[in-house]
Amino acid sequence: MIDAVVFDVGGTILDESYEFASWADWLGVPRHTMSAVLGAVIARGLDFEETFRTFRPDFDLATERERRAVAGATESFGEKDLYPDARACLTALKEQGLLVGLAGNQPAYAETLLRDLDLPVDVIGTSDGWGATKPAPAFFEHVIRVGGGDASSILYVGDRPDNDVRPAVAAGLKTCLIRRGPWGHILDLPEVAAASLFRIAALDELPGLVARHNAAGG
């Protein structure tokens, strides 16, 4: 049975298009060029920060975030950045009596921004807040803890086969891979995708799949 559903944040419930566009503007790079380089970095299986180092070899994300904050260009997101199917999906799962959470690789301030969205979730966790970053096992230990303690009863939903599905499966969680965003469309790891309980193209599909899975006794 699935008792809890925990979602990745960026690329799963949040559309990161504006975020990458704002970074392109900050670095003085055409947005379409940034997108093309990001796609190449993903296809090669590299860390996404290599996208920025293509244009600025000494780029450090934490340092650059501080510079942006000083310049008044602090990263932010809001309702407009939610995928259109996110809120309804979270609501439908809550109505099934499930624990619903958000947990992703995000800076500490993202937790406040997520809470300000007033989403129908029970728990919110970030890599900065937990001191553990995906795909590290410690991150998924936190997911298991906030999800009720039984890994086999928790479904983790994410767009990345490398950072989301593979380590979640290794931690004993059930998984759902959503194919959207740059990682979902570019990074193809068939053997990892095959390990997912569900594979979907939109969050609209998920509540029905979970309900049918639980009705069948898990």
Give residues with Cβ within 8 angstroms of 11, minimum separation 6.
Answer: 158, 159, 160, 180, 181, 182, 183, 184
Select the CATH number that applies to the domain covering 4-15+78-215 from these four: 3.90.1150.10, 3.40.50.1000, 3.90.1200.10, 3.10.450.50.
Answer: 3.40.50.1000
pLDDT at 15: 93
Give yes or no for a contact between 9 and 203, defined as CB atoms under 8 angstroms apart.
no
Instruction: Count Cβ atoms within 10 A of the Cβ of residue 124 and give its class: 0-12 exposed, 13-18 middle, 19 or more buried.
Output: buried
How many angstroms separate the CA atoms of 66 and 72, rounded?
10
pLDDT at 67: 86
First to last CA, the chain: 4
Give yes or no for a contact between 187 and 138, defined as CB atoms under 8 angstroms apart.
no
pLDDT at 12: 96
- Reduce the DSSP state of residue 198 to 3 states and report it: strand
How many angstroms separate the CA atoms of 182 and 199, rounded?
16
Q: Structure tokens of 14? A: 């949040």
pLDDT at 68: 80
Which residues in 10-122 belong to E strands, given as ranges? 99-104
pLDDT per residue as tens digits for the range 77-103: 889 999 999 999 999 999 999 999 999
How many angstroms separate the CA atoms of 196 and 156, rounded?
10
| 203 strand-pairing partners | none
pLDDT at 218: 74
- Reduce the DSSP state of residue 50 to 3 states and report it: helix
pLDDT at 78: 87
pLDDT at 213: 97
| 125 strand-pairing partners | 103
pLDDT at 62: 84
Ranges of residues in the chain whose predicted pLDDT is under 50: none
Least Cα distance to 166 among 141, 137, 187, 192 occurs for 192
pLDDT at 188: 85
Residues of the chain with CATH 3.40.50.1000: 4-15+78-215
pLDDT at 64: 87
How many angstroms separate the CA atoms of 135 and 16, rounded?
19
pLDDT at 184: 86
